[in-house]
Amino acid sequence: MQKVFEEVNSLDKRCYEEFALSEDILMEHAANSIASYIKEKFQKNSSILIVCGSGNNGADGIALARILFNDYDVNLYLHSEPKTEIGKLQLKRAKLIGLNPISEINLSCDVVVDCIFGSGLNKPLKDDTKILIDTLNSIDAFKISCDIPSGINNIGQVHSSAFESDITFTMGALKNSLFTDVAKEYVGEIKVCDLGISRDIYEMDSNTYLLEECDLILPFRNKKNTHKGTFGHLNVIVGTKEGAAKLTAEAGFVFGAGLVTLVNHEAHIVKDFLMQSHFVCDNCSAIAIGMGLGKFNDKEISEILNKDIPKVIDADLFYSNLILDVLNKSNNQVVLTPHPKEFVSLLELCDIDKIDVNELQNNRFKYVKEFCKKYPNVVLLLKGANVLIAQNDKIYINNFGTSVLAKGGSGDVLSGFIASLLAQGYSSLDASISGSLAHSLVARNYSKNSYSFTPYDLIQGVKEL
């Protein structure tokens, strides 16, 4: 996993003060990182439009233009004149080698590089800037952003328009603002620019991490002297919409649980390898509850929720006060898996805040932190384009998800994956991380058309990881 930071100005300042690395040195390395990528990907004499603002992000772009000049057909457009000293110096250097800014944008080019704003944007776009970004988006070219797509502010919000990148080169380290749900529409692939110092030295401690494929720990069976009980017994509580529980149960079985029982008062037609019971089993090692629950008996559900057994809680229970008992007194392993609307309800139930979904989506990191500060023992998995998994003061970002997962039943399968790992002895955090990664990577590996994905493709696909 990689560290992610709210801001990197303090990291840059440390480079200046502790390592005698000037702003100029860091900027030259950043520009060279982007230039190296362009030189590898595009032939000489390709046409490149670099659009710069007045700050240091613009200065990065001017330095990039100078490095590429003569080998490429470089067009440097200044949306506004440089205001910083380093920006003025970079423009002077560019002009001294014969690179002069153009006065009008050429709409025919191979590459567009956005250097209008960096990650410090903290106000809505002016009308002329919005028009400029919309114009750049309309150009049929490969698009690169420097640091962060212009139009995304310092906490990852988009007020009107933002540059639609194929790839974003972020400076020095990863930033939270790159991983909001709305930002995912604009950032494309994300790469970290080398600033002339190892990331291990440049970066300091962080409580936020970007998950990688190597963080997935699959439940491979390495011991030989085992039986079905060795791998746990998952109990899935069946509600009025029994299909959800059936998906959860089958997903849990396929992902390694030795036994899976559906707990319900009526017999249902289920796969032959799934069992049924009227009550939670004595040897139950994990519970999945909430998915498809619908109307329920408060006393019965309360008794199940208060059992000292690891559990995944989902869906309808995020609208019930019954969940408060679990949160307030539980030290056992509990994983919550709400989607945004359910999390908004949960925040109100927990007396944290009363907001709407739009407010949450604009401030996902903020509200995840507030919830986990109040309930540090609970693992929260907030669903979305980028999944946030959090416990206590740590947040883990899973950005592997794709739109193929936007189907009914996908969340039920996710609950089954996590609950299965809980049943097999994973900690609540490890189960959530590996269950979420497995879920997303199966979707990413799906090779058929994007609209045809089903929950059963998830269950089938996890067999091939």
| Interval 148-198: pLDDT, tens | 999 999 999 998 899 999 999 999 999 999 999 999 999 999 999 989 999
Check whether residue 132 and residue 111 sit in a common domain. yes
- Cα distances from 436 to residues 264, 304, 369, 371, 414, in angstroms, run 27, 25, 19, 20, 7
What's the domain count of the chain?
A: 2
How would residue 233 be classed by pLDDT, with cut points 50, 70 and 90? very high
pLDDT of residue 111: 97
Q: Which residue has the higher pLDDT, 119 or 17?
A: 17
- Cα distances from 392 to residues 371, 375, 396, in angstroms, run 9, 7, 11
Q: Can you give the CATH number for the domain in which 247 is found?
A: 3.40.1190.20
- Provide the token pair at 457: 């493709």
> What residues contact 389, with CB distance under 8 A and at least 6 apart?
211, 379, 380, 381, 382, 395, 396, 397, 398, 429, 432, 433, 436
Check whether residue 446 and residue 350 sit in a common domain. yes
Check whether residue 219 and residue 308 sit in a common domain. yes
C-alpha neighbours within 13 Å on the C-beta side of residue 68: 32
Domain termination residue (choose one: 181, 206, 231)? 206
Give all strands of the β-sheet with 387-391 in edge-to-edge order.
174-175, 2-5, 208-210, 394-398, 387-391, 379-382, 334-336, 311-313, 286-289, 233-237, 259-263, 275-277
Check whether residue 192 and residue 251 sit in a common domain. no
Give all strands of the β-sheet with 189-193 in edge-to-edge order.
73-78, 47-52, 111-115, 142-146, 167-171, 189-193
In the predicted structure, residue 346 carries a pLDDT above the cut 80: yes
Q: Can you give the CATH number for the domain in which 7 is found?
A: 3.40.50.10260
In the predicted structure, residue 258 carries a pLDDT above the cut 70: yes
* Cβ neighbours, 10 Å, residue 57: 26
Check whether residue 147 and residue 254 sit in a common domain. no
Domain termination residue (choose one: 190, 206, 222)? 206
Query: Percent of the chain, pLDDT > 90?
Result: 89
Query: Percent of the chain, pLDDT > 70?
Result: 100
Mean pLDDT along residues 307-317: 95
- How do residues 377-408 score in pLDDT, each as one tens digit? 999 999 999 999 999 999 999 999 999 999 99
Strand, helix or coil at 191?
A: strand
Check whether residue 356 and residue 312 sit in a common domain. yes
How would residue 343 be classed by pLDDT, with cut points 50, 70 and 90? very high
How would residue 311 be classed by pLDDT, with cut points 50, 70 and 90? very high
Check whether residue 14 and residue 162 sit in a common domain. yes
In the predicted structure, residue 332 carries a pLDDT above the cut 80: no
In the predicted structure, residue 330 carries a pLDDT above the cut 70: no
How far apart CA 354 and CA 120 sit, in angstroms, is 29
**What is the chain's mean pLDDT, rounded?**
94
- Cα distances from 231 to residues 122, 138, 252, in angstroms, run 51, 54, 11
How far apart CA 229 and CA 226 sit, in angstroms, is 8
In the predicted structure, residue 331 carries a pLDDT above the cut 80: no
Check whether residue 166 and residue 235 sit in a common domain. no
Check whether residue 25 and residue 157 sit in a common domain. yes
Mean pLDDT along residues 454-463: 95
Mean pLDDT along residues 232-241: 96
How far apart CA 79 and CA 282 sit, in angstroms, is 69
Kindly report which listed range (269-273, 318-322, 417-421) carries the lowest average pLDDT score. Answer: 269-273
* Cβ neighbours, 10 Å, residue 19: 13
pLDDT of residue 416: 97
- Cα distances from 23 to residues 29, 168, 289, in angstroms, run 10, 21, 54
How would residue 120 be classed by pLDDT, with cut points 50, 70 and 90? confident
Range of the domain at 226: 214-464
- Provide the token pair at 266: 């009526």
How far apart CA 169 and CA 195 sit, in angstroms, is 12
Q: Which of 244, 246, 213, 247 has its CA nearest to residue 440? A: 213
- Provide the token pair at 30: 């950043």
Check whether residue 199 and residue 218 sit in a common domain. no
Domain termination residue (choose one: 206, 223, 258)? 206
Q: Is-above-0.85 flag for pTM?
A: yes
Check whether residue 79 and residue 125 sit in a common domain. yes
pLDDT of residue 288: 98
Q: Which of 234, 274, 222, 226 has its CA nearest to residue 422? A: 234
Check whether residue 200 and residue 220 sit in a common domain. no
- How do residues 146-161 score in pLDDT, each as one tens digit? 999 999 999 999 988 9
